[in-house]
Amino acid sequence: MPELDPLYTAENLDALRRHYDAWADRYDADTRELGRMLPAVVAGFAGKHGPHGMNGPVLDVGCGTGVMGTVLTAIGYGPVDGLDLSPGMLAVAERKAVYRQLVEAALGPDALPMQARSYAMVLAAGVFTPGHAGPEALDELIRLTRSGGVIVFSASLPVLDDAFHARIQRLCDGDAWRLIAASAPFAAMLGSVEAPEARVFAYRVA
């Protein structure tokens, strides 16, 4: 089973992409063994706080091998689009046939190749963690979400620093979104001491 530490200490996106590509075929089995909790908790927040009365697609940011897309489809959300930086992970997700489209791109400060206000709900499980996306990417999640839509994302405790909280507060002060719910810290992977604890947040976009 691959070590998790290289994911959290990747020097750049190319290194992170290579690690995920190499792991793609074993990812589902390995993370089941590790007791990965993030998809279940994020999906639970989506089911409780998501926009049930709104028609429209859902975006799964950092979709990986399609675990979240499979859960979203099972609970009745869709169509679902997926986004991930790893072509290897996307190839596995495509075989599950639960996504309307899959896009190879990395979440960051730059605009993603989707139109603004395209989605009724945007989810990001495991994206805001060391070595991955930073707090500046929150603005892009808001850009992609419809007015009245919901964003649900996890954030590992090491990235929930002053800069991350300041970014969240700036977006609240600017009336870009408002908090709906936030979880207490929990183990992101029950069977790994390497994986940091995380929290999950749900926000409604103005």
- pLDDT tier for residue 54 given thresholds of 50, 70 and 90: low
The arithmetic mean of pLDDT across residues 62-66, rounded, is 97
Q: Tell me: the pLDDT tens digits for 7-17?
A: 888 889 999 99
Q: Among 69-73, 80-84, 142-146, which stretch is predicted with the lowest mean pLDDT?
A: 69-73
d(CA 186, CA 200): 9
State the chain's mean pLDDT as an integer.
Answer: 93
**Which residues are CB-contacts of 24 (< 8 A; sequence separation ≥ 6)?**
65, 86, 88, 89, 91, 92
| Backbone phi and psi for residue 121, each to the nearest 5 degrees, phi listed first | -150, 140
Per-residue pLDDT at 4 = 76
Q: Which two tokens stand for residue 98?
A: 């639960």
- pLDDT tier for residue 3 given thresholds of 50, 70 and 90: low
Residues facing 105 on adjacent strands = none
Pick from 41-55, 79-93, 108-122 the range whose average pLDDT is largest: 79-93
Per-residue pLDDT at 153 = 98
Per-residue pLDDT at 98 = 96
By the 8 A CB rule, do 100 and 80 touch?
yes
In whole angstroms, what separates CA 12 from the centre of its chain? 19
Question: Can you give the residue ranges of every domain in the chain?
Answer: 5-205
Q: To 10 degrees, what angle do helices 67-74 and 38-49 make?
A: 30
Q: Among 2-6, 70-74, 83-87, 105-109, which stretch is predicted with the lowest mean pLDDT?
A: 2-6
Give yes or no for residue 178 having a pLDDT over 90.
yes
Q: Tell me: the pLDDT tens digits for 87-119?
A: 999 999 999 999 999 999 999 888 999 999 999
Is this model's pTM higher than 0.85 or not? yes
5-205 is classed CATH 3.40.50.150: yes
Which one, of 167, 179, 109, 166, lies nearest residue 143 by Cα? 109
Per-residue pLDDT at 194 = 76
Per-residue pLDDT at 52 = 73
Per-residue pLDDT at 196 = 87
